[in-house]
């Protein structure tokens, strides 16, 4: 790790070693930031000179908390909500895409939102978009980029690839286990898009590892992210926590961390092998040719086709899964040369635990189950839980909180707040304890908690729109409700001669797209009356503008939208 960081960041080995030690401390400060600071801060980053964690703050009390943890507070004028609102505004202006638009996201250091544009692909529509972006004010900046990133896949190469079926190779990410001990590895979502696809360790149908995207619910390549799971089911395949560094000493991961701006990171992939750089931006939206992807982290490290899904590490911590980058691995250290999907999001989504090989320590005794789990407070969108600590022969390292069968939070203490819940809804929670060797306790007794009533959560639009051939309509609804939602119900009342010619989508206030109905089919059937669609969403804030989009992709149709209703 020291050698690679020295090589790719152009610093001495001593400087690289010092940088990694300092950033490990900064990562610990970031993990210890109180929820109050996290909720209001527009971002944090590692200072390139001192190695300290710098936290942007908008109030004196938050500055005192940051100093107490050993961080450096930095007063700024725009809050987290201010920047989130500007980012949503850019997303609404971008719609389904603008020529040359490579993506956008918050610049924590600059306390602004940066819009990335490839000037080689600009046209009149791009100029109109940029003019409207300029009207958003000084909080939004436009930066030109040399190329637009793409999700990467590649040809068969020697090394340690994995193959989705008989397609070109991708790269293995991190090994993980589920609550029952089942073996898996994480990789890119665009590598796992096919349901129940055989996964091979070599091409030609040899050396099967297991099955990709089991059941069709273990892959995401959409606004939510670029991440997927391969189940390791075949005999002879063992999990490893050692990252392949292609001829150098292996790096064994001991846990996970979140990406931080200016963090030194390295990635391993079958094409570009072992490459390092620094994180330049987090929580970014990237415009792939297939559509926008949220939550990406950008880096200066180069990459190549075939690296997709590979492991990104910060020191000895897993930090991300390779998603894409520029089509060449040339010099220049562009600030957005490669991008990755944060690994913790993938682990949380599918209730998995990073495999660290901790069982080799000889500790095989699991902690006792947590007791006296109780709900201490509730709101329209959250439940706060507390419990009595577990016991262990060596020591409890943390707790996993489950909402039903879904991992909702991982904490070190004996309290947790679970957000993103739906108002006036009952939830069942259990808690498991985990020790440093990876042993997990039995679940606690379940506790049921009900969120409070958040007020009216149904909104409608009665504005009529004519649906014309090869054109798109958009109908906005403004929600004034509070809290979050994990599911939406959309009732569309319309008339159309061929539902197979329609794409129907909803754009959330955060800029995420959710598909209700997809274009396709050889025989036309009429869309008449009201059709209802229920869609899980990524724990969206309910307040804001929700927009229904209907596009007619075929000829000779007649139709109109009469009204639509959304229940959050």
Which residues form the catalytic set? 190, 226, 308
In angstroms, the CA 537 to CA 541 distance is 10
- H or E element that contains 278: strand 273-288
**What is the 3 state secondary structure string of 112-139?**
EEEEEECHHHCCHHHHHHHHHHHCCCCC
Cβ-count burial 413-441 (b if 16+ within 10 Å, e if not) = ebebbbbbbbbebebebbbbbbbbbbbbb
Pull the structure tokens for residue 313.
């590490």
CB 321 within 8 A of CB 311: yes
Q: In sequence order, which residues have a C-beta less than 8 Å from that of residue 424 and are 6 or more positions away? A: 380, 450, 451, 452, 453, 454
Maximum distance among all alpha carbons in the chain?
Answer: 73
CB 40 within 8 A of CB 79: yes
Span between the terminal Cα atoms of the chain, in Å: 47
Pull the structure tokens for residue 286.
């990237």
Of 308, 312, 249, the C-alpha closest to 275 is 312
In angstroms, the CA 280 to CA 297 distance is 8
- H or E element that contains 63: helix 60-69
In angstroms, the CA 515 to CA 111 distance is 33
């Amino acid at each position: 790790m020291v050698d690679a960081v020295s090589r790719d960041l152009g610093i001495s080995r001593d400087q690289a070693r010092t940088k990694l030690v300092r950033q490990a401390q900064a990562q610990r400060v970031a993990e210890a930031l109180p929820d109050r600071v996290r909720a209001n801060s527009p971002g944090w980053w590692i200072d390139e000179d001192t190695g300290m964690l710098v936290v942007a703050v908008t109030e004196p009390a938050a500055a005192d908390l940051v100093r107490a943890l050993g961080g450096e507070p930095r007063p700024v004028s725009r809050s987290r909500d201010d920047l989130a609102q500007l980012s949503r505004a850019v997303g609404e202006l971008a719609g389904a895409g603008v020529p040359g638009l490579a993506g956008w996201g918050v610049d924590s250091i600059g306390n602004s939102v940066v819009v990335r544009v490839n000037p080689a692909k600009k046209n009149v529509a791009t100029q109109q978009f940029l003019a409207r972006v300029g009207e958003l004010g000084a909080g939004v900046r436009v930066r030109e980029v040399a190329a637009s990133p793409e999700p990467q896949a590649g040809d068969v190469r020697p090394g340690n690839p994995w193959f989705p079926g008989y397609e070109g190779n991708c790269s293995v990410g991190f090994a993980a286990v589920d609550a029952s001990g089942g073996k898996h590895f994480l990789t890119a979502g665009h590598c796992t898009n096919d349901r129940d696809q055989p996964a091979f360790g070599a091409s030609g149908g040899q050396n099967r590892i297991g099955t990709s995207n089991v059941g069709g619910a273990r892959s995401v390549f959409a606004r939510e992210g670029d991440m997927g799971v391969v189940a390791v089911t075949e005999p002879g395949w063992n999990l490893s926590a050692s990252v392949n560094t292609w001829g150098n000493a292996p790096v064994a991961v001991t846990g996970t961390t979140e990406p931080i701006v200016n963090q030194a990171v390295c990635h391993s992939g079958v094409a570009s092998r072992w490459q390092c750089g620094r994180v330049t931006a987090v929580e970014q939206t990237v415009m792939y040719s297939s559509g926008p992807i949220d939550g990406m982290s950008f880096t200066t490290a180069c990459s190549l086709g075939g690296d997709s899904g590979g492991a990104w590490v910060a020191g000895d911590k897993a930090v991300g899964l390779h998603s894409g980058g520029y089509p060449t691995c040339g010099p220049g250290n562009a600030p957005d040369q490669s991008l990755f999907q944060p690994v913790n999001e993938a682990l949380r989504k599918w209730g998995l635990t990073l495999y660290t090989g901790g069982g080799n320590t000889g500790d095989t005794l699991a902690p006792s189950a947590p007791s006296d789990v109780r709900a201490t407070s509730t709101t329209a969108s959250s439940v706060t839980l507390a419990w009595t600590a577990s016991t262990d022969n060596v020591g409890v390292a943390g707790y996993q909180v489950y909402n039903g069968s879904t991992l909702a939070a991982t904490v070190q203490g004996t309290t947790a707040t679970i957000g993103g819940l739906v108002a006036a809804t009952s939830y069942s929670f259990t808690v498991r304890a985990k020790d440093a060797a990876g042993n997990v306790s039995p679940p606690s007794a379940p506790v049921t908690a009900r969120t409070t009533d958040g007020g009216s959560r149904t909104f409608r639009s009665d504005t009529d729109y004519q649906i014309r051939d090869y054109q798109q309509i958009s109908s906005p609804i403004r929600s004034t409700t509070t809290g979050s939602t994990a599911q939406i119900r959309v009732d569309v009342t319309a008339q159309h001669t061929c539902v197979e010619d329609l794409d129907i989508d909803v754009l959330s206030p955060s800029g995420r797209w959710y598909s209700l109905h997809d274009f396709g089919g050889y025989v036309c059937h009429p869309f008449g009356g009201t059709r209802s669609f229920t869609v899980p969403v990524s724990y969206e804030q309910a307040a804001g503008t929700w927009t229904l989009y209907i596009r007619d992709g075929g000829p000779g149709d007649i139709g109109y939208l009469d009204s639509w209703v959304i229940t959050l």
